[in-house]
Protein backbone atom coordinates (compact mmCIF):
# COMPACT_ATOMS: atom_id res chain seq x y z
CA UNK A 1 0.00 0.00 0.00
CA UNK A 2 1.21 3.51 -0.81
CA UNK A 3 2.20 5.74 2.11
CA UNK A 4 -0.82 7.14 3.94
CA UNK A 5 -1.48 9.12 7.12
CA UNK A 6 -4.41 8.37 9.42
CA UNK A 7 -6.06 10.86 11.78
CA UNK A 8 -8.78 10.04 14.28
CA UNK A 9 -10.74 13.23 14.91
CA UNK A 10 -12.28 13.24 18.39
CA UNK A 11 -14.71 15.76 19.79
CA UNK A 12 -14.00 16.85 23.36
CA UNK A 13 -15.99 15.47 26.28
CA UNK A 14 -18.92 17.32 27.81
CA UNK A 15 -17.86 20.84 28.74
CA UNK A 16 -19.30 23.43 31.10
CA UNK A 17 -20.53 25.26 28.01
CA UNK A 18 -22.32 22.15 26.74
CA UNK A 19 -23.98 21.66 30.12
CA UNK A 20 -25.03 25.32 30.26
CA UNK A 21 -26.29 25.44 26.67
CA UNK A 22 -23.84 28.20 25.76
CA UNK A 23 -21.56 28.88 22.82
CA UNK A 24 -17.87 29.15 23.70
CA UNK A 25 -14.98 30.14 21.47
CA UNK A 26 -12.52 32.82 22.61
CA UNK A 27 -14.31 34.86 25.29
CA UNK A 28 -14.78 31.84 27.53
CA UNK A 29 -12.62 28.72 27.78
CA UNK A 30 -14.75 26.26 29.76
CA UNK A 31 -13.44 23.08 31.35
CA UNK A 32 -14.87 19.58 31.22
CA UNK A 33 -17.71 18.67 33.55
CA UNK A 34 -17.43 15.57 35.73
CA UNK A 35 -19.30 13.73 32.98
CA UNK A 36 -16.79 15.03 30.45
CA UNK A 37 -13.88 13.83 32.58
CA UNK A 38 -15.45 10.37 32.74
CA UNK A 39 -15.87 10.40 28.96
CA UNK A 40 -12.19 11.32 28.56
CA UNK A 41 -11.15 8.39 30.74
CA UNK A 42 -13.36 6.02 28.74
CA UNK A 43 -11.82 7.36 25.53
CA UNK A 44 -8.34 6.58 26.85
CA UNK A 45 -9.39 3.04 27.74
CA UNK A 46 -10.96 2.57 24.32
CA UNK A 47 -7.85 3.72 22.44
CA UNK A 48 -5.06 2.47 24.70
CA UNK A 49 -4.19 -0.45 22.41
CA UNK A 50 -4.54 1.44 19.10
CA UNK A 51 -1.29 1.97 17.15
CA UNK A 52 -1.11 5.67 18.03
CA UNK A 53 2.03 7.56 17.04
CA UNK A 54 1.01 11.16 17.70
CA UNK A 55 -1.50 13.19 19.71
CA UNK A 56 -2.61 16.69 18.75
CA UNK A 57 -5.17 18.99 20.30
CA UNK A 58 -7.03 22.24 20.02
CA UNK A 59 -5.58 24.90 22.35
CA UNK A 60 -8.89 25.13 24.23
CA UNK A 61 -9.10 23.61 27.71
CA UNK A 62 -11.93 21.17 26.97
CA UNK A 63 -9.98 19.53 24.15
CA UNK A 64 -6.70 19.40 26.08
CA UNK A 65 -8.46 17.89 29.09
CA UNK A 66 -10.09 15.27 26.84
CA UNK A 67 -6.78 14.06 25.38
CA UNK A 68 -4.90 14.24 28.71
CA UNK A 69 -5.81 10.76 30.08
CA UNK A 70 -4.82 9.11 26.80
CA UNK A 71 -1.59 11.13 26.68
CA UNK A 72 -0.71 10.05 30.23
CA UNK A 73 -1.52 6.42 29.46
CA UNK A 74 0.64 6.40 26.30
CA UNK A 75 3.40 8.68 27.54
CA UNK A 76 2.95 11.01 24.55
CA UNK A 77 2.93 14.80 24.88
CA UNK A 78 0.16 16.24 22.68
CA UNK A 79 1.09 18.93 20.18
CA UNK A 80 -1.16 22.00 20.36
CA UNK A 81 -2.43 23.05 16.93
CA UNK A 82 -4.21 26.44 17.03
CA UNK A 83 -6.18 25.68 13.86
CA UNK A 84 -7.98 22.82 15.60
CA UNK A 85 -9.77 25.41 17.77
CA UNK A 86 -13.53 25.90 17.85
CA UNK A 87 -15.36 27.71 15.04
CA UNK A 88 -15.18 31.49 15.42
CA UNK A 89 -18.66 32.39 16.64
CA UNK A 90 -18.24 36.13 16.20
CA UNK A 91 -20.95 38.11 18.00
CA UNK A 92 -22.50 34.96 19.41
CA UNK A 93 -19.44 33.89 21.39
CA UNK A 94 -20.56 33.20 24.96
CA UNK A 95 -24.27 33.52 24.16
CA UNK A 96 -26.89 31.10 25.45
CA UNK A 97 -28.49 29.04 22.71
CA UNK A 98 -31.90 29.47 24.30
CA UNK A 99 -31.56 33.27 24.17
CA UNK A 100 -30.62 33.21 20.48
CA UNK A 101 -33.58 30.95 19.75
CA UNK A 102 -35.97 33.17 21.71
CA UNK A 103 -34.79 36.31 19.90
CA UNK A 104 -35.86 34.75 16.57
CA UNK A 105 -33.28 36.81 14.69
CA UNK A 106 -33.05 36.36 10.94
CA UNK A 107 -29.29 35.88 11.17
CA UNK A 108 -29.61 33.01 13.63
CA UNK A 109 -32.35 31.25 11.67
CA UNK A 110 -30.35 31.63 8.45
CA UNK A 111 -27.24 30.18 10.15
CA UNK A 112 -29.26 27.20 11.30
CA UNK A 113 -30.40 26.55 7.74
CA UNK A 114 -27.00 27.01 6.08
CA UNK A 115 -23.90 27.71 8.21
CA UNK A 116 -21.80 28.14 5.07
CA UNK A 117 -23.81 30.89 3.37
CA UNK A 118 -24.79 32.50 6.70
CA UNK A 119 -21.94 32.31 9.24
CA UNK A 120 -22.34 33.93 12.68
CA UNK A 121 -22.00 37.74 12.45
CA UNK A 122 -18.26 38.36 12.44
CA UNK A 123 -17.59 34.60 12.57
CA UNK A 124 -16.50 31.71 10.35
CA UNK A 125 -18.36 29.62 7.82
CA UNK A 126 -18.44 25.85 8.30
CA UNK A 127 -16.32 25.05 5.22
CA UNK A 128 -13.70 27.61 6.28
CA UNK A 129 -13.40 25.71 9.55
CA UNK A 130 -13.08 22.38 7.74
CA UNK A 131 -10.37 23.67 5.41
CA UNK A 132 -8.22 25.05 8.22
CA UNK A 133 -8.55 21.83 10.21
CA UNK A 134 -7.52 19.66 7.25
CA UNK A 135 -4.71 22.02 6.25
CA UNK A 136 -3.09 22.04 9.69
CA UNK A 137 -3.42 18.26 9.99
CA UNK A 138 -1.87 17.75 6.55
CA UNK A 139 1.09 19.90 7.54
CA UNK A 140 1.49 18.02 10.81
CA UNK A 141 1.27 14.44 9.58
CA UNK A 142 3.30 14.80 6.39
CA UNK A 143 6.22 16.17 8.40
CA UNK A 144 6.34 12.89 10.36
CA UNK A 145 6.49 9.15 9.83
CA UNK A 146 3.14 7.61 8.87
CA UNK A 147 1.08 6.37 11.80
CA UNK A 148 -2.18 7.02 13.58
CA UNK A 149 -2.66 10.54 14.96
CA UNK A 150 -5.46 11.28 17.42
CA UNK A 151 -6.71 14.87 17.23
CA UNK A 152 -8.86 16.37 20.00
CA UNK A 153 -11.03 19.10 18.54
CA UNK A 154 -14.64 20.36 18.34
CA UNK A 155 -17.96 19.40 16.80
CA UNK A 156 -18.05 21.99 14.00
CA UNK A 157 -14.40 21.28 13.21
CA UNK A 158 -15.25 17.64 12.59
CA UNK A 159 -18.41 18.51 10.65
CA UNK A 160 -16.52 21.03 8.54
CA UNK A 161 -13.75 18.55 7.78
CA UNK A 162 -16.29 15.92 6.74
CA UNK A 163 -18.07 18.39 4.44
CA UNK A 164 -14.79 19.36 2.77
CA UNK A 165 -13.69 15.74 2.30
CA UNK A 166 -17.04 14.72 0.81
CA UNK A 167 -17.47 17.97 -1.15
CA UNK A 168 -20.87 18.47 0.47
CA UNK A 169 -22.74 21.77 0.69
CA UNK A 170 -23.03 23.84 3.85
CA UNK A 171 -26.65 22.90 4.68
CA UNK A 172 -25.53 19.26 4.98
CA UNK A 173 -23.93 20.23 8.31
CA UNK A 174 -27.42 20.15 9.81
CA UNK A 175 -27.71 16.44 9.00
CA UNK A 176 -24.60 15.65 11.09
CA UNK A 177 -24.38 15.05 14.83
CA UNK A 178 -21.09 14.63 16.68
CA UNK A 179 -21.61 13.57 20.32
CA UNK A 180 -19.10 14.34 23.02
CA UNK A 181 -16.06 12.14 22.38
CA UNK A 182 -17.55 11.18 18.98
CA UNK A 183 -14.93 10.10 16.44
CA UNK A 184 -14.24 10.25 12.70
CA UNK A 185 -11.31 8.49 11.03
CA UNK A 186 -9.82 10.22 7.98
CA UNK A 187 -6.81 9.32 5.85
CA UNK A 188 -4.47 11.58 3.88
CA UNK A 189 -3.26 10.24 0.53
CA UNK A 190 -0.12 12.18 -0.49
CA UNK A 191 -0.08 10.64 -3.95
CA UNK A 192 -3.45 12.21 -4.72
CA UNK A 193 -3.14 15.25 -2.41
CA UNK A 194 -6.49 14.52 -0.77
CA UNK A 195 -8.22 13.29 2.35
CA UNK A 196 -10.69 10.38 2.43
CA UNK A 197 -12.99 9.02 5.12
CA UNK A 198 -12.31 5.55 6.49
CA UNK A 199 -15.39 3.53 7.44
CA UNK A 200 -15.18 0.77 10.03
CA UNK A 201 -12.97 0.01 13.04
CA UNK A 202 -9.39 1.18 12.72
CA UNK A 203 -8.04 -2.38 12.97
CA UNK A 204 -9.99 -3.29 9.82
CA UNK A 205 -9.12 -0.19 7.80
CA UNK A 206 -5.87 -1.40 6.20
pLDDT of the residue at 17: 97
Q: Determine which one of 14, 65, 86, 124 is catalytic.
A: 86
User: At the fourth CATH level, which superfamily is domain 5-87+125-204?
Assistant: Phosphoglycerate mutase-like (3.40.50.1240)
Closest residue by Cα to residue 62 from 153, 123, 173: 153
Does the pTM surpass 0.85? The reply is: yes
For 65-124, the pLDDT digits (tens) are 999 999 999 999 999 999 999 999 999 999 999 999 999 889 999 999 999 999 999 999
For 156-206, the pLDDT digits (tens) are: 999 999 999 999 999 999 999 999 999 999 999 999 999 999 987 665 444
Residue spans of the domains in the chain: they are: 5-87+125-204
21-49 residue pLDDT tens: 999 998 999 999 999 999 999 999 999 99
Cβ atoms of 64 and 58 closer than 8 Å:
yes
- Cα(first)–Cα(last) distance of the chain, in Å? 9
Over residues 67-82, the pLDDT tens digits come to 999 999 999 999 999 9
DSSP-based three-state secondary structure for 55: strand
C-alpha 174/C-alpha 112 separation (Å) is 7
Mark whether 86 is an active-site residue.
yes
12 included as an active-site residue: yes
Amino acid sequence: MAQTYDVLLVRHGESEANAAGRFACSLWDPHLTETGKTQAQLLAEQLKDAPIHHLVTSPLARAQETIAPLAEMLGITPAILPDLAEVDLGQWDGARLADLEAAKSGAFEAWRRDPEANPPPGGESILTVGRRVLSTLEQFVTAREPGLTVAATHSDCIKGALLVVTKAAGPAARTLFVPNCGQLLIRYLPKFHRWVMVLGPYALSH
